Structure 1
Amino acid sequence: MNMTHYMELLAANQPWNLLLFMAVPVILAETLAITELAVLFGGDTTPRPVRAANRWSGILAGGYFAVVFVTLMLTAAIPLTLGGGWRGPIDVVAVGFYLFGIVPLGGVALLDLGLIGRGRSERQRMKLHVAFVALFLVTAHVAMIAGMLDPTLIGGDAAAAVQDMHGMHGTAQ
């Protein structure tokens, strides 16, 4: 079976790529999502440690993913684009949606750091925070689902994908 670059990245260099590119961002995002629910439903009665976990998981997730984004843009997305190495539309969707995660996670971090949304009410900032968290969950799941597909299903080149995979041997391309 042919793999998308997204899935190949996670499968290469075990267990490190899986931990760095999937486990850490997902653990931070899930912590953010769970504490977000507690803050929403608890309101002013939400315990301080839960509020702190929400804020810090958002800041850490945004900062961490910014490093992941820059790393993958420089080592994978730009070289693949310039070299014509994409394995088809599914491959582009998987990697593209994964990288798009910087928008909502970066937004959460900037909001939690007080760099955006200053002129908004607490309720408006909370709505924006929830929207960013929801957007990240959607984009991450689209990336995961597309990443698990065979990239040759809609327009990908099977021969190139197989040759590409045999030449990779654990690189993050």
Structure 2
Amino acid sequence: MPMTHYMELLAQNQPWNLILFMAIPVILAETVAITELFILLLRSRGGWLRALNRLASILAGVYFLGVFAYLLPNVVVPLTLTGQWRGMIDMIAVGFYLSGAIPLAGLALLDLGVLARSSPEERKLFLHALLVAAFLVLSHVAMIFGMMNPYLIDQDAAHMPTEHMINH
């Protein structure tokens, strides 16, 4: 079955691409999400749980900005310039994956004290939870579309010459 570029990226260079582009960001984001639930439930404003959440948020934001900075010029721009996208599903999968950099960068900026610096603690908790939720939605949309046959919607793209279906 044909793969999206998202899934192809994860499948190549095993296990390194899977670790670099999926495992590390997901482990950091899931650490943030899980600790976020306990912080909200317990209204914890300090302690080791909040420190772990803050560290994971900052690391996830910085790390994923690096992933974004690498993939945009090395994958997205070449695919766009050469017309090698495998249809709309392919573009949605990659686009939603990369757009996860926005909420993760927001989390890092929030926990570094750059964003919402003078806001009350309740407002920061709300914004933090909102950014975590946004990342989870974006990443799950990317995963769902990434696992689909990229030609399911755009049947015409499936008839492109095979030289357009090279590995990236």
TM range (shorter): over 0.9
Q: TM-score normalised to the size of structure 2?
A: 0.95
Number of residue pairs the alignment of both structures matches: 167
Question: How far off its partner does 1:57 sit?
Answer: 0.2
Contact 1:3/1:161, CA 8 A, preserved across alignment: no
Residue aligned with 1:119, SS: coil
Q: TM-score normalised to the size of structure 1?
A: 0.92
CA distance in 2, matches of 1:77, 1:56: 29
- 1:75 maps to 74
- 2:2 maps to 2
Question: How far off its partner does 1:160 sit?
Answer: 3.2
Contact 1:28/1:60, CA 8 A, preserved across alignment: yes
Give the 5 Å matches for 1:27-66: 27-44=27-44, 48-66=47-65
Question: How far off its partner does 1:71 sit?
Answer: 0.3
Over the residues paired in the alignment, what is the CA RMSD in angstroms?
1.4
CA distance in 2, matches of 1:161, 1:19: 32
Higher relative contact order (CA 8 A, sep 6+): 1
Listed as ranges, the gaps of 5+ residues in structure 2 are: none
CA distance in 1, matches of 2:27, 2:103: 16
CA distance in 1, matches of 2:137, 2:11: 22
Distance 1:35 1:10, change over 3 A: same
CA distance in 2, matches of 1:110, 1:71: 20
Give the 5 Å matches for 1:112-123: 112-123=111-122
Question: How far off its partner does 1:62 sit?
Answer: 0.2
Listed as ranges, the gaps of 5+ residues in structure 1 are: none
